Each structure stands twice: as C-alpha cells, then as structure tokens.
C-alpha cells in the first residue's frame, strides 16, 4: 500500500480516497503533494525530522512487555507506548512532520482541527517550537468537554477558535478549517490530524505515523525473534492504526485489528448515530474530501457520531482503512463506552499505565476477546489518559 504520491492525480485505495474538494483547494493540495513527495526523497529533510522525533518528541517509544495484563489474558501482550511521546499522544509524530514540510514550503501560519484536543495540542507544540502563528478550530461542545487541553494550547501561544456550526464537534471543526484554508493557503498550512480527508493527507499522515509500526516491528523481532500474531489499535480517523499497521501490511500472518467506538450501543435514531463505527457500520460516501466509509442518513446527510472518547467521535474514517477493511486485511471490531471504561481501569490497575479513553477501546476489546489476539500480541497505546480524568469521573458520577 505504499503507493507513490503522483503529482496531479489523487492516490486511490481501491475505489476509496480522492480529491473531492472545492476548486480553490485543488491547487494548494497539489502544491502540498508535490512538496511532500520532493521532501521525502531528501536525506536532509529525513535527518531533520528524525532528529526532532528523537530529541524533541522522545522517540523511539518503548515496546513494553505487559506482564500482568499478559497473565490475565493468558498470552503475551506488548504495549507500544505512544502515550510517552511528548504531548501525551502519537499526534506529535504527524504534526512534526507536517510542520517541517510547511516550513520548507515557506508557510508562516498553521491551522488545525481538534476534537479531544490532542491534535490541537500537538499542533500548538510544533507551532511554538518552529515559530508558526497557530490557530486551532475546535467545536464549542468539545471546548466545554476539554477545558484543560484548550488551556494547554493557549499556554503554547495557539489561538483556539470556537466552532458554532453544525454539531459543534470535530467534523464541523474540519469543515471550518477547510473554509479557512480556501482563502489562506498562500501563507497557511492546514495541518490535518488524521489519515483521512483529501489526497495527499491520507498517505502523508500514514507515512509520518508509520514510525510507530517501524519501531514496533524491529522491537518485537528483537524481543521475541518473531512477528506478533496480532496488532490491535483504536480507530477514529485512523492515524494511530494506520501508523502501526502500515509496516506490517505485507505480513499476511499478522492479524490487524481495528477497534472502533461502539458508543452507547448500536441503536440508531434519526439524526444521531450514537457510535463512531464508520468502518464497521458505515456506507460509502464522500466526507472531507475523500470517498470512504461514513455514517449518513439515506439521503446523504452526515450523521452526528458519538463516543465517550472525543478522539473517536467522528462519522468518517481514512480511505485506506476503508479499503483494507473491505479487502479483509484489516479486521473491524467494536468496543462500546462500557468496554472502553473497563480497559481504562484494567490497564491503570494492572500495569500502572492510565491510557487515553481512545486507546482504552483497544485494551477493552482485548479483555473481551483475548482469543482474537493469538499467542503474541501488540496493543497500540496511542495516548495517555490524563486528559480524560474529568470525563471518566463524570461518566462514573464520582
């Protein structure tokens, strides 16, 4: 799947992907694809990025043998510790990469969308560190849910712009960032946070996140002398999942398990989907520039998703994951809020690691379906749970 990014034509993953954007955005996306392709061939650029990943982000992150969790599940389980990346999540892998691309392109301003705030924080970090003016679009509802992350962004000099349109959550923040970019592309880079959207974002974000899987691959070979039977990752848009899956795609014996948010359960009302499982329960459609699996009503109106984990609360998914799931290379699984809470507590108690509620979906799934993991498993802990303490306390009425 490591398709070359062509200069003018959007990369497709089977029938998924594409460039379904207003004309105004076609030239900036083309310019971005070309710059990215050029830079990824440059040794200097790669060196600069690797140095930043090592000395600033704190890579490589450990692949940790989770003794107690392994004992409980009756199999060997390793955790890829993306929660230890600076900022508290895997998001910085991508924002560092894109911000360096933006710098080389001569851009002076970054805009980003954020749901839980993790990508916004990771963008604010690179904005401060690399000297960009930074503005982050965030739904009004999410601002209320994630006050600490709003303050973190502001501390680092980013401006958080409340989004009041639509459902006032992540999808609307993306809409607003795209509208901003349609008139600001001259000096602004749109730093999309997940492996979704229009070309070249799905490929570029996957590539920047694939450092997770590359490290995990050599780490598991060193520790165990063989590849794992399975890799489990949570999926919202799909950046941590594609990041850890990508280097294993050719290894057909490694089961790739994508765990989506089951939310409150799987009942559907008229406008609200009550879950975030676009890969497993969505249908083909166009959202944010790509043909992919989305949650929509029969007329094509986008449904409002729901999950206790704001980072999984998105009615779409990256096009490459849609393709891999359809091919059967990636297996789609669902963990609801309750299962995620179970994972959250279990990992905290068993290993002394408080996972992000997003990552807790992957842990919760493993607790419920241990047989699916095989004898040797890796779970991607995409972020740490400090940001979620208020949400969990609220959920449990503490």
Partner 1 sequence: MKISEAFEEAPLLIVYICAGDPTPAATPDLVRRLAAAGADIIELGLPHSDPIADGPTIQAAAQRAIAAGMNTDVYFQKAAEANVAIPKIFMGYYNMIYARGLDRFAGDCARCGITGMIVPDLPPEEAGPLLQACAKFDVDLIFLAAPNTPAQRLKMIEEETSGFLYLVARTGVTGAQSDILQSTRDLIARVPGSKPKAVGFGISTPAQAAEVITAGADAAIVGSVCVDLIARGEVELLEQLVRDMKAAVVAAGKSKAPIVV
113 given a catalytic annotation: yes
Q: Closest approach of Cβ 163 to partner 1, in Å?
A: 11
Q: What are the angstrom distances between the C-alpha of 81 and each of 2, 19, 60, 175, 335?
A: 24, 34, 9, 32, 21
- Determine if 183 is a binding residue for partner 1 (CB under 8 A): yes
How far apart (Å, rounded) are the C-alpha atoms in residues 81 and 280? 26
Least distance (Å) between residue 193 CB and partner 1: 17
Nearer to partner 1 by Cβ, of 297 and 368: the residue is: 297
Tell me if 252 contacts partner 1 by CB under 8 A: no
Residue 369: exposed, middle, or buried by beta-carbon count in 10 A (0-12, 13-18, 19+)? middle
Compute the least distance from the CB of residue 175 to partner 1, in Å. 5
**Among the listed residues 305, 27, 59, 49, the one whose alpha carbon sits nearest the alpha carbon of residue 170:** 305
Measured between alpha carbons, how far is residue 180 from residues 33, 124, 136, 312 in Å? 19, 17, 11, 24
- The minimum distance between CB 326 and partner 1, in angstroms, equals 17
Residue 286 binds partner 1 (CB under 8 A): yes
**Tokens 């890799």 sit on residue:** 231
Nearer to partner 1, 100 or 279 (CB): 279
List, in sequence order, every residue forming a beta bridge with 235; answer none if it has no partner: 260
Antiparallel, parallel or unpaired: β 230-235 and 376-381:
parallel
Is 230 part of the annotated catalytic residue set?
no
**Considering beta carbons, is residue 9 or 226 the nearer one to partner 1?**
9
From candidates 3, 108, 165, 218, binder to partner 1 by CB under 8 A = 165
The smaller minimum CB distance to partner 1, of residues 304 and 351, is found at 304
Subset of 10-39 contacting partner 1 (CB under 8 A): 10, 18-24, 26-28
Q: Which is nearer to partner 1, 78 or 323 (CB)?
A: 323
Q: How far apart are CA 113 and CA 98, in angstroms?
A: 14
Angle at 210 between CA 205 and CA 211, to 5 degrees: 120
Q: Strand 188-190 and strand 159-163: pairing?
A: unpaired
When asked if residue 282 is in the footprint of partner 1 (CB under 8 A), the reply is no
Q: Does 287 bind partner 1 (CB under 8 A)?
A: yes
Residue 382 annotated in active site: yes
| Catalytic position from the list 82, 113, 320, 358 | 113
| 233 beta partners | 258
As annotated, the active-site residues are 91, 113, 382
Applying CB under 8 A, which residues contact partner 1?
8-10, 18-24, 26-28, 165-166, 171-172, 175, 178-179, 182-183, 185, 284-289, 291, 294, 296, 298-302
């Amino acid at each position: 799947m490591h398709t070359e990014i062509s200069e003018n034509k959007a990369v497709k993953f089977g029938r998924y992907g594409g460039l379904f954007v207003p004309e105004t955005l076609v030239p900036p996306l083309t310019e971005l694809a070309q710059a990215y392709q050029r830079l990824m061939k440059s040794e200097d650029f790669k060196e600069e990025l690797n140095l930043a990943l090592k000395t600033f982000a704190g890579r490589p992150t450990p692949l940790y043998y989770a003794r107690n969790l392994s004992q409980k599940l009756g199999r060997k389980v390793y955790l890829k510790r993306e929660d230890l990346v600076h900022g508290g999540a895997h998001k910085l892998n991508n924002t560092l990469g894109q911000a360096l691309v933006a710098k080389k392109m001569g851009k002076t301003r970054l805009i980003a969308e954020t749901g839980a705030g993790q990508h916004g924080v990771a963008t604010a970090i690179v904005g401060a560190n690399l000297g960009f003016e930074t503005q982050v679009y965030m739904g009004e509802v999410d601002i209320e849910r994630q006050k600490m992350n709003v303050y973190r962004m502001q501390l680092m000099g980013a401006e958080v712009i409340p989004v009041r349109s639509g459902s006032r959550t992540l999808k609307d923040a993306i809409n607003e960032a795209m509208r901003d970019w349609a008139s600001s592309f001259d000096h602004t880079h749109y730093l999309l946070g997940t492996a979704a959207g229009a070309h070249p974002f799905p490929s570029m974000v996957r590539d920047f996140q694939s450092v997770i899987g590359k490290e995990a691959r050599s780490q598991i070979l060193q520790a165990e002398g063989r590849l794992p039977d399975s890799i489990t990752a949570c999926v919202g848009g799909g950046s941590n999942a594609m990041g850890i899956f990508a280097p294993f795609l050719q290894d057909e014996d490694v089961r790739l398990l994508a765990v989506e948010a089951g939310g409150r359960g799987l009942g559907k009302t008229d406008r609200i989907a009550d879950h975030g499982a676009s890969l497993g329960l969505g249908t083909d459609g166009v959202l944010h520039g790509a043909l992919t699996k989305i949650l929509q009503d029969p007329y094509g109106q986008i449904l409002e998703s729901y999950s206790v984990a704001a980072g999984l609360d998105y009615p779409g998914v990256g096009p490459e994951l849609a393709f891999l799931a359809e091919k059967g290379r990636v297996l789609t699984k669902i963990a609801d809020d309750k299962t995620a809470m179970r994972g959250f507590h279990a990992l905290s108690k068993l290993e002394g690691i408080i996972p992000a509620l997003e990552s807790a979906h992957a842990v919760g799934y493993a607790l419920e379906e241990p047989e699916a993991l095989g004898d040797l498993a890796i779970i991607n802990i995409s972020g740490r749970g400090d940001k979620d303490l208020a949400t969990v306390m609220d959920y449990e009425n503490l």
